[in-house]
Amino acid sequence: MEKNIRKNHEQKNPKNIRAIIECYEEIPCDPCEIACKYGAIIIGKPITNIPVLDMEKCTGCGLCIANCPGLAIFVVCENYTDTLGTVSLPFEILPLPKKGQRVKTLNRNGQYVCRGEVVKVIETKSFDRTPVVTIAIPRNKVDEVRGIEIPKR
């Protein structure tokens, strides 16, 4: 079943870009559901349901990233280039990294994974002060990289 969904997604979406919602607890929260204008995130009632991503509808646009109060959504692209993938993540710490900047990327436990290059930094009014940073990294690291090292203060 999962294999078919993945296959479908690859066929429809040659860049293989998709959202990953790392939210696995039943907490009362549903802004991701209405943030997605493609209806790809489903929570329903009660709002403590764990969000489910419809891979067929997800275009990887990233609107959900800034709208999640838990900062738990990432957009991952495995085919950015032949060798590189990207991870887009919410980043609310100043100073913001700049496009072209080389950064140290971190995993879910804050441990160093690899170097990456900042490809994009988006701040819009609708993101309400949650900038979204996209980093290019080796393709095989897209499921690991979830953070950027912040400079020592």
Partner 1 sequence: MNRWELIVIGSGPSGLTAAIEAAKNKVKVLLIDENIKAGGQLFKQIHKFFGSSAHYSGIRGINIGENLIKKAEEVGVKVLLNRIAIGLFKGKKVVVKQGLDNKGKNIEIFEADKIVIASGAAENAIYFPGWTLPGVMSAGAVQTMINVHRVLPGKKILMVGSGNVGLIVSYQLIQAGAEVKAVIEALPKIGGYEVHADKIKRLGVPIYTSHTIVEAKGNLEVEKAVIAKVDKNWQTIPNTERILKVDTISVAAGLKPLIKLVRMADCKCIYIPELGGWVPIHNKNMETTYSGIYVAGDVTGVEEANTALEEGRLAGIAVAESLGYLDKKIACNIKTEIWERLKDLRSGPFGENRFKAKNEIIREY
Point out which residues bind partner 1 (CB under 8 A): 22-31, 33-35, 45-48, 67, 69-72, 92-94, 106-111, 128-130, 146-147, 150, 153
Kindly tell me which of 77 and 148 has the beta carbon lying closer to partner 1: 148
- Name the residue among 79, 85, 69 with its Cα closest to residue 32: 69
Minimum distance of partner 1 from residue 140's CB (angstroms): 20
10, amino acid identity: E
Minimum distance of partner 1 from residue 31's CB (angstroms): 4
In whole angstroms, give the CA distance from residue 136 to residue 70. Answer: 23
Question: How many C-beta atoms surround the C-beta of residue 33 within 10 A?
Answer: 19
Minimum distance of partner 1 from residue 55's CB (angstroms): 21
Minimum distance of partner 1 from residue 120's CB (angstroms): 19
Kindly tell me which of 9 and 137 has the beta carbon lying closer to partner 1: 137
In whole angstroms, give the CA distance from residue 117 to residue 140. Answer: 15
Kindly tell me which of 14 and 28 has the beta carbon lying closer to partner 1: 28
The token pair at 118 is 């900042």
Determine the straight-line distance between the first and last CA of the chain, rounded to whole angstroms.
48
